[in-house]
Structure 1
Amino acid sequence: MSSLFQDGCDCGHEKKKKQHSPCKGCVCDQLMGIEKCNTFTNQTFLIVLKGDSAPLDMTGAGLGTIFTFVSFDPHNCCARFTYTSAAATTETFVVDCRSIAGLSSVATP
């Protein structure tokens, strides 16, 4: 399985002049790469927001919530993820990539 953290994703295209994006930072760059290559659909992550040291917990279970990457918009820096709520429904989480301190890739069965 491919991973977000593998180097060299050029999607088989010639290098083109980069488009200006207000999204700056390591996590934003990683998410731009995922969106650009469209290779890592269904990639799952734990998300740590800036100012926190533990993964984001949306369910109240005391564990980090596993998020599935959906899309990234490099024009407004919005990253969309889904997760399964405590009620076992699929919910959407939208976050500005500049608010994320880190992503940890999670292997799915």
Structure 2
Amino acid sequence: MGREYRYKEKNYDNSHECEECMEHEKKEYGKKEHENKCKGCICDQLRKLQPGTEVDLFLSNGARIEDVVFVAFNDKNCCAFFTGLENEPPGSTLIVDCKRIDAINIEGREC
């Protein structure tokens, strides 16, 4: 019983250090997950794309969305925001995961 008590006491004494280590590991894991989450050509292009740029989107499911205006890209969750959808009420926003976009036609831009 004495050993059990010392074991619990040791765990108790080190619990603060363990909590700090666990928090540090969570943060590091989150960074690694974030770093790897939004990879790929399209995600990279969206990071650099200027808001207000008109584009056509070619989605992974074969859908094509034409003449939408790029609003923003959230690098934390890979969401790209677009407006200007045909047949939708003014102010409607299209949100697309950058990993689900196969190609982008950036209108009026020459390489």
Same fold (TM over 0.5): yes
TM-score with structure 1 setting the length: 0.60
Q: Percent identity?
A: 32
User: What is the count of residue pairs matched by the alignment?
Assistant: 75
Equivalence for 1:47: 57
Structure 1 unaligned blocks of 5 or more: 1-18, 35-39, 57-64
Which protein has the larger Cα radius of gyration, Structure 1 or Structure 2? 2
For structure 2, list consecutive stretches of 5 or more residues without a partner in the other structure: 1-33
SS of structure 1 residue aligned to 2:45: helix
Higher helix share: 2
CA contact (8 A) 1:21 1:74 kept: no
Superposition map of 1:24-63 within 5 A = 24-34=39-49, 40-52=50-62, 55-56=64-65
In 1: Cα distance, 2:39 partner to 2:85 partner: 29
**By how many angstroms is 1:51 displaced?**
3.4
**Deviation per residue, 1:11-68 (Å, 9 max, x gap):** xxxxxxxx8251011000101123xxxxx2210000000131x622xxxxxxxx3110
Give the structure-2-normalised TM-score: 0.59
Q: Matches of 2:61 and 2:88 in 1, distance apart? A: 28
Distance 1:70 1:21, change over 3 A: farther
